[in-house]
Structure 1
């Protein structure tokens, strides 16, 4: 069976459309914009001011070669991601791509959104590399590289898959703790493991392993969250022996062992005594890392200064707790994922990050790690239990460059229209999701290349654009309708609504006729090693991925710009 792929970006999250429209100026999209040389950008990265380096390519293309601190902000998805990544409109932004192919169009769109300090990397990533600077592959590289530095410098202990298997077969006093989000754990897990995402480890470990003689093994899908998770518990000073599972579930599969699927074991909430102990441990960890606490007055001052100094406010609790009630205007960023993928949440370097601390544990341990590598100023804010709260998933402001909108079409109406003929469906969400299942007969293209679908449509066809939940589809459909003068509509509720109604879907396995309807290849997709069905290919990709992660330490040394300030908690 094919193993599940790692999800990318925010395409699967529920989005509340808080649309903000800006004046449409097509000339700004076509114009050249100020360029900055590779040497000047290198100096800016090493300097002391705020800076956002945005890569305008889709994530698959980005992941093949990019600058260390570049953040993927695809041209066709800017409307839905930029307000979260770079909230301050006068932030200095440098846009890059491979060779100035998309950067000027992205810069023009940013200017129309109201950003005021936008330039383009002259010659793009190719010129950066030609200038002798380091180019990285992969995603969330600063965070993953940090995990490797932790193991390299602090000598985080580990155990092999074979040794863990032997412990389990003998019935030894051992517990396997999976530090990934619950959705990833459900997809695949080590037999007998219990899920406890990274920020929850210190919070819940007293309930998972109350016996100090229990060996605690922390695992993830690869290396980073295993290492960071194990070192988190070690830094907190729990009495147990703690190790990471070397190379995670990849090592388990490479050793020839089977993984479980569909498991629902989750670490229990801590009782009063366990939580009090966890709070003491977390406070020591944060204090040693130099994390500062702020009160409501200081937070208000930061908020008033947000037009001149970028401010990110993150709630690091679980998505379920966030949805049940969070501080107004605060974003959801589960602590383990915030450390694992900091660049996906905060696109501006050297910003202020404030974490909401509800229980005295999870925000403190998360803040301690961010303070050691992120380059941001990190603060803790204890939320007043009496403060007003908002309920529901994180709202996302969608920026627009035109007041025009495309008409909506209901899923049932699209199905009826397909039965009669004269309609072409353009899916712009994710080629990975498209290959797993999509509206029958649909074509896939990345958002900025959606016009390619018109070449396969009848001259009078209705064009229906769909995405995960319809939000991106409306953005793309409006632009396509304006540019083509065709009857273009957006599918209300997107693919999620289509599926919820039980309407038919088709897959697009490699070599199929449906696969040929993927018009932009894998530009948007960075394939997990788990995605390959052929066992030999899957194992080769796993070995390559693990070697890549380990090699990041040497790459960081050559690049020289990731300022890691590790705290050795073994020393007084």
Structure 2
């Protein structure tokens, strides 16, 4: 498909013309994280067919593609055109042209969310405690309840000693079952954003005791010289009794009125024309609740993580986002933050919650399909370093597209991630290789089949691992200098925003 060429100036205008737009960086994750436009979303070329339909569900959405200006945007347009995307544009010159025009290429990921957290703290005056202050309170027998607003898996990796796991969207709903009325609560994350948003979520929900964000989270705790807990079981979230459910519904209704939040029911939602609007339907409750039953057509996206990483769940600015939960409270607090970030977020009301989650069945790969010939491993670079079949060559689709190496047939592509395997197979077939087979699999499968599994600590090289973001990548693994640089980066985001980027982030206030 022929995609229209569009200049950086025209892209800038499109980002603020009020229409739907998806600004897509096709480079691999590591390249993306080293510098990209503020509102760009990463859909790596290596996962394009797999991720595009989820992040851009409407095939007629206006989509602007770019890379480093080396031609991958053109190839990406071919792939998307074959998938049925019809309004494709290529930003001339790619990321280098954006920088040459005087606009910032931002390091890191989840930029709108992280910048928004800094604005929330500044505009709403979020109370915070330093690691030293919290530690002194703990040592003096005045320890507040510390609630970790990250996901359960992140909590298990490392946590503040004595903290309990309670993901951000659950804070206002569950805190009453975790602390007595009026008790002081400190919310932490690994850095800053979820600490700030979590504390403000508790305040939105009407918690009647002191609420503070832990300044700089677990990284600040380590930088202050204190130890973390590792491997802690996040446990189950406490059930909410009937009076708590009724209180949550009342609080949701109050916030809807106070903040003027739009509400939609299933009848109206069914009348919306999906061909005219991109519509994302998210259930923001816990995974256990979602799996037990949810509104028809809604996918799981825990509210705290959705606010923290919008760019991992949706790629279309200007899309309609409909949020669902049983009492409304978690949907309402999530909507307040998303609308403050410039998204058209709405609350689903009165929908049945009886659609079960699909059962996921996995089958062990048939390793007898690993034929003599060329073996390619499409795993992420660092995974390949850790373990791969002896004789299998590492391959990344983006590098394969650039280098087009000769391979001896038949070719079998293995790897931990089925989407990465499928992308490499698609590219090989596009290059004219006829005898190519996909065999998604990992080290346990290879060892069970009697294959020799080896490591290669320096292959692929750091430079070749374009799918890995090296920017302060080891900040949670004991590198205190990396943690310090990360926090400086996070607190420095606001100074990098231009007027248009800053104007898109406006924390809501009651009417």
Give the TM-score normalised by structure 2: 0.91
Instruction: Confirm whether residue 52 of structure 1 aligns to residue 2 of structure 2.
Output: no
User: Which of 164-173 and 434-443 deviates more?
Assistant: 434-443
Which residue of structure 1 lines up, in the alignment, with residue 422 of structure 2? 474
Unaligned runs of 5+ in 2: none
Aligned residues: 510
Which residue of structure 2 lines up, in the alignment, with residue 377 of structure 1? 344
| Cα 1:515–1:489 shift into 2, 3 Å | farther
Native 8 Å contact 1:444 1:518 kept in 2: no
Which residue of structure 2 lines up, in the alignment, with residue 109 of structure 1? 79
Q: Distance in 2 between matches of 1:97 and 1:478?
A: 20
Q: Measure how far apart 1:506 and its partner are.
A: 5.6
Among 238, 246, 249, the residue aligned to 2:218: 249
Native 8 Å contact 1:328 1:390 kept in 2: no
Deviations 1:337-378 (A, max 9, x none): 1101112211111111111222222111111111111x2322
Matched residue SS, 1:429: coil
Deviations 1:93-148 (A, max 9, x none): 11112224311111121112111111111111211122122321111101111001
Q: Distance in 2 between matches of 1:275 and 1:282?
A: 11
Native 8 Å contact 2:474 2:482 kept in 1: no
Matched residue SS, 2:147: strand
5 Å matches for 1:42-191? 42-191=12-161
Q: Distance in 2 between matches of 1:505 and 1:261?
A: 33
Q: Distance in 2 between matches of 1:423 and 1:205?
A: 58
Native 8 Å contact 1:143 1:341 kept in 2: yes
Q: Measure how far apart 1:542 and its partner are.
A: 1.1
Which residue of structure 2 lines up, in the alignment, with residue 524 of structure 1? 467
| Cα 1:482–1:540 shift into 2, 3 Å | same
Native 8 Å contact 2:385 2:460 kept in 1: no
Native 8 Å contact 2:48 2:423 kept in 1: no
Which residue of structure 2 lines up, in the alignment, with residue 298 of structure 1? 268
Q: Measure how far apart 1:481 and its partner are.
A: 4.3
Q: Distance in 1 between matches of 2:191 and 2:318?
A: 28
Native 8 Å contact 1:411 1:497 kept in 2: no
Deviations 1:413-441 (A, max 9, x none): 268x6xxxx45432323224334444455
5 Å matches for 1:407-418? 410-413=365-368
Which residue of structure 2 lines up, in the alignment, with residue 430 of structure 1? 380
Which residue of structure 1 lines up, in the alignment, with residue 411 of structure 2? 463
Native 8 Å contact 1:355 1:367 kept in 2: yes
5 Å matches for 1:274-285? 274-285=244-255
Q: Distance in 2 between matches of 1:111 and 1:502?
A: 39
Which residue of structure 2 lines up, in the alignment, with residue 22 of structure 1? none
Q: Distance in 2 between matches of 1:333 and 1:499?
A: 33
Matched residue SS, 2:323: strand
5 Å matches for 1:528-547? 529=472, 531=474, 535=478, 538-547=479-488
Instruction: Confirm whether residue 485 of structure 1 aligns to residue 428 of structure 2.
Output: no
Matched residue SS, 2:459: helix
Q: Distance in 2 between matches of 1:502 and 1:529?
A: 37
Native 8 Å contact 1:157 1:244 kept in 2: yes
| Cα 1:255–1:506 shift into 2, 3 Å | farther
Matched residue SS, 1:531: coil
Root-mean-square deviation (CA), in Å? 3.0
Among 322, 325, 328, the residue aligned to 1:354: 322
| Cα 1:499–1:313 shift into 2, 3 Å | farther
Q: Measure how far apart 1:379 and its partner are.
A: 1.3
Which residue of structure 2 lines up, in the alignment, with residue 401 of structure 1? none
Q: Distance in 2 between matches of 1:503 and 1:152?
A: 58
Q: Distance in 2 between matches of 1:485 and 1:297?
A: 49
Q: Distance in 1 between matches of 2:450 and 2:212?
A: 47
Deviations 1:139-195 (A, max 9, x none): 110111100100111121111111111222222141110001111111111111111
| Cα 1:394–1:134 shift into 2, 3 Å | farther
Q: Measure how far apart 1:279 and its partner are.
A: 3.0
Matched residue SS, 1:107: helix
Deviations 1:450-477 (A, max 9, x none): 47998596x45x5331233434313422
Which residue of structure 1 lines up, in the alignment, with residue 279 of structure 2? 311
Q: Distance in 2 between matches of 1:125 and 1:347?
A: 18
Instruction: Confirm whether residue 565 of structure 1 aligns to residue 500 of structure 2.
Output: no
Deviations 1:392-418 (A, max 9, x none): 4699xxxxxxxxxxxx99454268x6x
Deviations 1:18-50 (A, max 9, x none): xxxxxxxxxx4xx6x321111111111111111
Q: Distance in 2 between matches of 1:520 and 1:272?
A: 56
Which residue of structure 2 lines up, in the alignment, with residue 553 of structure 1? 494
Q: Measure how far apart 1:539 and its partner are.
A: 1.6
Q: Distance in 1 between matches of 2:25 and 2:180?
A: 46
Q: Distance in 2 between matches of 1:261 and 1:151?
A: 29
Q: Measure how far apart 1:316 and its partner are.
A: 1.0
Matched residue SS, 2:358: coil
Instruction: Confirm whether residue 235 of structure 1 aligns to residue 204 of structure 2.
Output: yes
Deviations 1:253-303 (A, max 9, x none): 11222211211144412222233323333333343332211122211112x
Q: Distance in 2 between matches of 1:568 and 1:393?
A: 42
| Cα 1:71–1:505 shift into 2, 3 Å | farther
User: Which of 379-388 and 328-337 deviates more?
Assistant: 379-388
